């Protein structure tokens, strides 16, 4: 899920030339984990953002129905929950 925040725009810009993105809407900002290091050692991690994915639209559902392989890694942020009905349908044929 990507939104309209700076982090989402950065991810979108990095991926768009390489893959076809079919996005879930994101309500809020993309979660970010910022690691601060000094002399090669971690000092602190700052977490910010925390938007929640919206409902998949027709384009997302069509991609899930047609996919030969599906990987969902959402770190507990709700993406799997948002697409679970379509994942269950796909699991019967993948």
DSSP 24: P
| Per-residue model confidence (pLDDT) at position 50 | 85
DSSP 5: S
| Per-residue model confidence (pLDDT) at position 8 | 94
Q: Structural domain boundaries of the chain? A: 6-91
Cβ–Cβ < 8 Å for 30, 11: yes
Run means of pLDDT, 10 residues per run, the chain, 94 residues: 93 93 91 94 94 88 86 80 85 77
**Angle formed at CA 14 by CA 58 and CA 77, multiple of 5 degrees:** 55
User: Among positive and negative, which fits the CA dihedral 82, 22, 25, 48?
Assistant: positive
């Amino acid at each position: 899920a990507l939104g309209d925040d700076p982090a989402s725009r950065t991810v979108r810009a990095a991926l768009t030339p390489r893959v076809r993105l079919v996005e879930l809407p994101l309500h809020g900002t993309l979660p970010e984990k910022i690691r601060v290091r000094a002399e090669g050692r971690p000092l602190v991690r700052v977490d910010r953002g925390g938007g929640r994915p919206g409902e998949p639209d027709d384009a997302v559902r069509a991609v899930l129905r047609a996919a030969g392989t599906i990987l969902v890694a959402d770190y507990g942020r709700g993406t799997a929950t948002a697409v679970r009905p379509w994942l269950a349908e796909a699991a019967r044929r993948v």
